[in-house]
Structure 1
Amino acid sequence: MTQPSASATVHIDASPEAVYDLITDLQTLAALAEETESMELRKGDKGGAVRPGAVFVGHNKNGNKRWTTKCTVTDAEPGRVFAFDVRYAVLPVARWQYDIVAADGGCSVTESTWDRRPGWFRKVAPLATGVADRASANAEHIAATLQRLKQRAEKRPRT
């Protein structure tokens, strides 16, 4: 796999399993993310764990711009990794991945994204999203998301 277009890591004083549970709860993940307003599971076990092949829809907003994406879970290993591919209609948009590694009594979490948009789509996408520099915006969004994840995970009682 190529290098991500944006990535950051944070140490969290919580177990890898607790952090994984937060990341894979779609309502929580939507609340942590910068542009995402909500996520709806469309295909998969609505009462249980998110598994590879599950499909959810992301409703996104930036200022007065709104758009919807279709996400397919590619990796879901409890306490280790959660990843999904994002499409807009039939066009590939991105891959998002959360890698969790036990470290120093808690864990380190790396959030990464790969821009998968075709070149021509990268030129018109700012009209829909209001974001001219997606790599820089995603770097800022990842930093904010990881800090929110850290705060949320460290507030929970340890199990």
Structure 2
Amino acid sequence: MNQTLTTDTVERVIRASPEDIYAIVSDITRTPELSPEVIRARWIRGATGPEVGARFLAINSLGRIWTWPNLPVVITAEPGREFAISRTEPFFGTLEWRYECLPQGELTTLVRESYTVTRPLTRVAWFIIEKLIGSTDRAGELRSGMATTLGRLAELVEAPVPPPES
């Protein structure tokens, strides 16, 4: 068990406004369209949208081998700027996931997705990850997942718009 998670960041310039990007990443019901690990998400406990303190149920999956629920909470909800959640799971510590939208000119945004471990994973968690799931590079998998997420986000918002008819 030599793996460790601390923090990582992936960035991508996307041809869309920060507001359009924020609208998608903060709509957790759309997370399965973006993330390779989240297969379902819905607001719970009366929450109906992204605001600090809102909770949602997310169902994650690593292939067909391992599926688990978690209950993240929104910790930052600044439209057009930043959306962040924190999720704590027994044995698997606490991770904060963040999307930052940094304008780069007219209708171009640098999107930064990151995670930070604020409470580390336990030995039990690493045993499950390595021995039961078979993951030997969890940090690499998370980094690849963030790149996939930003790629899918770009595909959604950069879809070509047909020219107006003359």
Considering the TM-score relative to the shorter chain, is it more than 0.5?
Answer: yes
Aligned length in residues? 153
Question: What is the CA–CA distance in structure 1 between the aligned matches of 2:46 and 2:133, rounded to whole Å?
Answer: 28
8 Å CA contact 2:14–2:110 kept in 1: the answer is yes
8 Å CA contact 2:91–2:124 kept in 1: the answer is no
Amino acid at match of 1:55: R
Residue in 2 that maps onto 1:118? 121
Residues 89-147 of structure 1 deviation map (CA, whole Å, 9 limit, x = unaligned): 48633110001111122111000012333342442340565533221110000000000
Residues 57-80 of structure 1 deviation map (CA, whole Å, 9 limit, x = unaligned): 110111221111110100000000
- In the superposition, the TM-score normalised over structure 2's length comes to 0.82
Task: Say which SS state the counterpart of residue 20 (structure 1) adopts.
Answer: helix
- In the superposition, the TM-score normalised over structure 1's length comes to 0.85
8 Å CA contact 1:61–1:129 kept in 2: the answer is no
Residue in 2 that maps onto 1:154? 158
Identify unmatched segments of 5+ residues in structure 2: 162-166
Runs ≥4 residues deviating over 4 A? 127-130
Amino acid at match of 1:85: S
Residue in 2 that maps onto 1:135? 139
Task: Say which SS state the counterpart of residue 33 (structure 2) adopts.
Answer: helix
- Which has the higher Rg, Structure 1 or Structure 2? 2
Amino acid at match of 1:132: T
The alpha-carbon deviation at position 44 of structure 1 amounts to: 4.5
Amino acid at match of 1:136: G
Q: Is 2:34 the partner of 1:32? A: yes
The structure-2 alpha-carbon separation of the partners of 1:38 and 1:94, relative to structure 1 and needing over 3 Å to count, comes to same
Question: What is the CA–CA distance in structure 2 between the aligned matches of 1:77 and 1:100, rounded to whole Å?
Answer: 10
8 Å CA contact 1:55–1:70 kept in 2: the answer is yes
Question: What is the CA–CA distance in structure 2 between the aligned matches of 1:128 and 1:76, rounded to whole Å?
Answer: 36
Identify unmatched segments of 5+ residues in structure 1: none
Question: What is the CA–CA distance in structure 1 between the aligned matches of 2:134 and 2:38, rounded to whole Å?
Answer: 14
Amino acid at match of 2:29: Q
**Identity over aligned pairs, percent:** 26
Question: What is the CA–CA distance in structure 2 between the aligned matches of 1:30 and 1:129, rounded to whole Å?
Answer: 21
Task: Say which SS state the counterpart of residue 51 (structure 2) adopts.
Answer: coil
Amino acid at match of 1:54: A
